[in-house]
Structure 1
Amino acid sequence: MDVIWSAKARITYFKVMDYLQENWTKNEMRQFSQRTEIVIRALKKNPEIFKQSEKHTNIRRAIIDKNNSLFYQVDAVNQKLYLLSFFDNRQNPEKLNLA
């Protein structure tokens, strides 16, 4: 299964990395990066492992860690996994815009 990062996924991923760099240590940055890779590998093997969004049933939410989630879509016909956005779970969910 091919993994395709949207522009928003890239931007939000690097925002998390920037935040970790400014406020935490390189160890936390490395852990977030490793957890993200582990989740993406798991998604490639079993893309439906995580729960569907209640609001958007074609979008799923993967938990990276207690503070961060990854929203993604699966195109099973074309064997593509679209990474849509990373989201800080401590934010107001109303701020989440997957469009």
Structure 2
Amino acid sequence: MNGYAVKWSPKSKISYFSILEYLDEKWTFKELEAFVNRKEETIDHISKNHLLYPYSKESDAHKCVVVKQVSLFYRIKDNNIELLVF
């Protein structure tokens, strides 16, 4: 199963890089690297099974906890996964 294509919204890119900057100051390199790897695994899981994480009608999005401190919100749009914000 190939999975859905994943598209990053401009807001998701900005929020992700802001988080990386913050974590770079507060976490060790090893912790930062583990976070990036976990984010990649999570996006891979989403692309293969987009219904894996809970959906909220309120926000019209799915919420996925990447790590305890960071969640990712995404939605299905035109048979693609659209990452909304971290």
Give the structure-2-normalised TM-score.
0.90
> Match of 2:66?
64
> Match of 1:35?
38
Instruction: Work out the CA distance in 1 between the residues paired with 2:29 and 2:13.
Output: 19
Matched, 1:80 2:80: yes
Which contiguous aligned blocks of 4+ residues in structure 1 show a shift greater than 6 angstroms? none
Structure number with higher relative contact order (C-alpha < 8 Å, ≥ 6 residues apart): 2
Identity of aligned residues (%): 34
Tell me the amino acid that sits aligned with residue 30 of structure 1.
Answer: E
Per-residue deviation at 1:64?
Answer: 0.1
Tell me the amino acid that sits aligned with residue 68 of structure 1.
Answer: V
**1:1-20 correspondence to structure 2 within 5 Å:** 1-20=4-23
Q: Per residue, is there more strand in 1 or in 2?
A: 2
Per-residue deviation at 1:23?
Answer: 1.2
> Can you give the 5+ residue segments of structure 1 that lack an aligned partner in the other structure?
87-99
